């Protein structure tokens, strides 16, 4: 059994903007093993958002192959990609992406609806997952009744609810103050220590320094791929 969870080879993504062709990714190779903690960095226009969308099965490459957990997802249609996303990937976004009229409990249990899980089991698992991110006392609150850090914890719990293969976070501390950002990064360290594969897309060096490996993109290509010898850790 391979230890590789992600293997992308020769990934290209071209867009048409008017009459011009934009080469967002121009031949990218990345292998990520199970239980790695990886930061993907790059300036605006480097291709990091595009690689996140492809890694997250939100978009398909123009060319190249993407093997996710021994399955080739690069040629899948939208319906097949949606199934893979729900089963394999937990997303955490900068803007939290919580439904405003739903409680924390209902927001966290949402992915289980798409998996066909009954309500009693959904609520039980969502309660347990919220407890794991220290939000037991907030599970019946709606997003507008929660702080930014609490909202991001709800988003983390939602990402974890299906026991995904990968946690994929896009600028997860972008809307948070520095103290709350540290709390969220502590939570990411816990998630990684529990055996999850964590991929964080960020432009912030301080956030990237928590990862054990840092991949830098520039102009649609990998500029560097290095091991972080001294990651920020928490006891």
Q: What are residue 150's phi and psi, to 5 degrees?
A: -65, -40
Please write the tens of the pLDDT for every residue from 44-101: 889 999 999 999 999 889 999 999 999 999 888 888 998 888 889 999 988 889 999 9
Residues 197 and 166: beta-carbon distance below 8 Å: yes
Number of C-beta neighbours around residue 116 at 10 A: 6
Q: What percent of the chain has pLDDT over 70?
A: 99
Q: What is the pLDDT of residue 67?
A: 95
Q: Which of 47, 31, 22 is nearest to 201 (CA)?
A: 47
Q: What is the pLDDT of residue 94?
A: 85
- What's the predicted TM-score (pTM) here? 0.92
Q: What is the pLDDT of residue 1?
A: 55
Q: Is 17 helix (H, G, I), strand (E, B) or coil?
A: strand
Q: What is the pLDDT of residue 142?
A: 96
Q: What is the pLDDT of residue 174?
A: 87
Q: What is the pLDDT of residue 113?
A: 87
Rounded-to-integer distance, Cα 161 and Cα 106, Å: 12
Residues 101 and 124: beta-carbon distance below 8 Å: no
pLDDT band at residue 233 under the 50/70/90 scheme: confident
Q: What is the pLDDT of residue 116?
A: 86
Q: Which of 217, 196, 195, 221 is nearest to 208 (CA)?
A: 217
- CA 234 from chain centre, in angstroms, equals 21
Residue 2 pLDDT greater than 80, yes or no: no
**What does DSSP assign to residue 228?**
-
Q: What is the pLDDT of residue 124?
A: 95
pLDDT band at residue 175 under the 50/70/90 scheme: confident
Rounded-to-integer distance, Cα 68 and Cα 8, Å: 8
Q: Is 85 helix (H, G, I), strand (E, B) or coil?
A: helix
Rounded-to-integer distance, Cα 7 and Cα 130, Å: 32
pLDDT band at residue 235 under the 50/70/90 scheme: low
Q: What is the pLDDT of residue 74?
A: 87
Residue 13 pLDDT greater than 80, yes or no: yes
Averaged pLDDT score across all residues of the chain = 92
Q: In the chain, what are the domains?
A: 36-53+88-227 (3.40.50.300)
Rounded-to-integer distance, Cα 68 and Cα 45, Å: 25
Q: Where are the beta strands (DSSP E) in 96-212?
A: 166-170, 197-201
Please write the tens of the pLDDT for every residue from 140-170: 999 999 999 999 999 999 999 998 989 999 9
């Amino acid at each position: 059994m391979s230890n590789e969870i992600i293997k992308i080879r020769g990934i290209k993504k071209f867009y048409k903007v008017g009459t011009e062709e934009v080469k967002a990714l121009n031949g990218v190779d990345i292998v990520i093993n199970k239980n790695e903690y990886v930061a993907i960095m790059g300036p605006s226009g480097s291709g990091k958002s595009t690689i996140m969308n492809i890694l997250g099965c939100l978009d398909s490459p123009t060319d190249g192959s993407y093997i996710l957990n021994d399955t080739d997802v690069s040629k899948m249609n939208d319906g097949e990609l949606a199934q893979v996303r729900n089963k394999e990937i937990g997303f955490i976004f900068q803007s939290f992406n919580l439904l405003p009229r739903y409680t924390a409990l209902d927001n966290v249990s949402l992915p289980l609806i798409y998996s066909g899980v009954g309500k009693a089991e959904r609520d039980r698992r969502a309660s347990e997952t919220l407890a794991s991110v220290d939000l037991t006392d907030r599970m019946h609150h709606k997003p507008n009744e929660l702080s930014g850090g609490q909202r991001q914890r709800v988003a983390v719990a939602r990402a974890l609810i299906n026991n995904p293969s990968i946690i994929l976070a896009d600028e997860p501390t972008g809307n948070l103050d520095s103290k709350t950002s540290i709390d969220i990064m502590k939570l990411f360290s816990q998630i990684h220590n529990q055996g999850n594969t964590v991929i964080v897309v960020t432009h912030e060096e301080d956030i990237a320094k928590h990862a054990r490996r840092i991949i830098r993109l520039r102009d649609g290509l990998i500029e560097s791929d290095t091991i972080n010898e001294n990651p920020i850790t928490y006891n």
